[in-house]
Chains A and B, each alone.
Chain A
């Protein structure tokens, strides 16, 4: 069975401080990992995925297979980063994606 764990429900940081949103996963194979974000009053949208190795809006996430983690990081938080962040896992490759979500972490950036 696949599981995604986000231990923090709420993370509050000051503007300009570093951010790390934690994510651990449980899956026996080689999953695909994602971070989805939901800004206030907006739809859930993809932020980044591990296979692309991109930095989006200053965020990066490295897949650590040894620790089964996929933590989301940003060196300097901005107010507009305040949102709900969901770590997600898919065991599938190709077109079909059955994505399992974590419980989400609310990031609050304090001005």
Chain B
């Protein structure tokens, strides 16, 4: 069964450093998403991506964040200058119709 895959599973970085989280969505899906979950809190929508552009983003997704689909398979989330409060689990998801398929998440720890 096809799955969404994410790398790395865990990344530790220093505050102010750039981080890129990678995702390979399910191949025939057209819609891509990033969500995050700060420890002990709910899963929050960050951004959705369709047809090579952002279709919607939340207020969390400020200028420090960007997404890209550099080739036909990868979907990346970049955080330009990480802050302590960016520490969270980041989930990539993709969909073809109504169901979201999630990756296992990338845990980001900012020191």
Chain A residues with a Cβ under 8 A of chain B? 32, 36, 42-46, 49, 51, 86, 90, 94-104
Contacts and interface: CB of A to CB of B under 8 A. Distances in A.
Interface range on chain B: under 10, 10 to 19, 20 to 34, or 35 or more? 20 to 34
Interface of B: 3-4, 30-31, 33, 35, 41-45, 48, 50, 55-56, 91, 95-105
Given A43-B104, A96-B50, A32 B41 contact: no
Given A43-B104, A43-B105, A98 B42 contact: no
Contacts of A36: 100
A2 to B, nearest CB: 10
B42 A102 contact: yes
Contacts of B55: 96
Given A44-B91, A45-B101, A101-B44, 5 more contacts: A43-B102, A95-B30, A98-B56, A100-B45, A102-B42
Contacts of B105: 43
10 contacts: A43-B3, A43-B102, A46-B100, A90-B98, A94-B97, A95-B30, A98-B45, A98-B56, A99-B100, A102-B42
B100 to A, nearest CB: 6
Contacts of B44: 101
Contacts of A43: 3-4, 91, 102-105
